[in-house]
Structure 1
């Protein structure tokens, strides 16, 4: 019985390690591809309407990717999704790049995002703590942030804008712990879906931090 338990435990550990390796390899590739597409969109100089259109297209591709995650075409769809998401950032990145010290500001936001992401991921990976208890709080908070963002589209209040982005940044730190812990503890066994979750955590954290760091230089 002990040998069977030990064998099962080893098999589970190998499976989780393989899942982690595939997930983080794919995540690094999709982030790089997303950055490439963002750079192309900046060079082309896409406008706000094109940016919105790409964002909506990315949302559609998100659902397609999740639906196709179990099949061989899942790899194609995740690159299509992350590429379109990256391209949709072109207008926003050009806006901040045109501010004083804009390129430096973008790199600082990217660097801070990377440090936070790696630190929290490493904590969840090494401790193997179960953060599933955060699920209700995180999704309730996400709904609140989405509603607040939609309302502020009509209000245009700077303080609300800052509060929403601070809330999103805080929520994304929780999602990084939650999503990483799901992989480590066997709650997510598909590396494409796992990559999508972590990619969205990274992307939304970066955008929120960029908005917060850039608002001081924004008219």
Structure 2
């Protein structure tokens, strides 16, 4: 009986420590995410103010994936924070040409605000589902891997074939992919199944929010014939 009580006590202690650690990672992740989103908004505004009308696709991919690689390499050090802001600042800057293009439309401002509102509500709703239900969404990992491959191939096809229906399908696919990624990443933190580094968790959620916003903006533009 004493042996069982000792095991139970150790299990409860381990669960309490794990829960406290997960909560710390979650708090740090959301705090850093809020700061990086604000910084991205500043760099996006700077890009618009500078009149940047186009972003070379090769510059985008080299910058985005190069800085992403740097974040992963420095995630366990203080330099990781600087890498994170460099990455999110660059990504925000790349939004400038997109936002500028929409601002030239008669209802461009409304489309941007609607996309922002939908992105915010979607993120809050999905996060609430993962946090309140405590459900383990680790089963989405296979879906995310397969989805990433399909979306990359569809994006490559979209570069060579300017088909509105294909653009709509890719954007819808990214909305589903980003939503699943938010559920998966939040679940990983809650259950401590894989992600205990708040820098990497922040970047994953940031990329999901970025893709969600751009995709929703694209869908709204296509649906309004813009």
For Structure 1 versus Structure 2, the TM-score category normalised by the shorter chain is over 0.9
Coordinate RMSD, CA, aligned:
1.3
CA distance in 2: counterparts of 1:27 and 1:133, whole angstroms: 24
| 1:115 aligned residue | 121
TM-score (norm 1): 0.96
1:51–1:91 contact (8 Å) kept in structure 2: no
| 1:27 aligned residue | 33
Question: Larger Cα Rg: Structure 1 or Structure 2?
Answer: 2
Gaps of 5+ in 2: 1-5
| 2:90 aligned residue | 84
- How far apart are residue 48 of structure 1 and its match? 1.6
Please say which of residues 208-217 and 42-51 is displaced more in the overlay: 42-51
1:16–1:183 contact (8 Å) kept in structure 2: yes
- How far apart are residue 152 of structure 1 and its match? 1.5
Q: Does 1:192 align with 2:199?
A: yes
CA distance in 2: counterparts of 1:40 and 1:163, whole angstroms: 31
CA distance in 2: counterparts of 1:150 and 1:121, whole angstroms: 31
Residue-by-residue CA offset, 1:106-151 (whole Å, 9 max, x unaligned): 0110110010011001110111111111111121112111111111
Structure 2 counterpart of 1:61, from 47, 67, 80: 67
2:53–2:101 contact (8 Å) kept in structure 1: no
Q: Does 1:96 align with 2:105?
A: no
Please say which of residues 73-82 and 167-176 is displaced more in the overlay: 167-176
- How far apart are residue 5 of structure 1 and its match? 1.7
| 2:208 aligned residue | 201
Paired residue total: 219
CA distance in 2: counterparts of 1:148 and 1:135, whole angstroms: 20
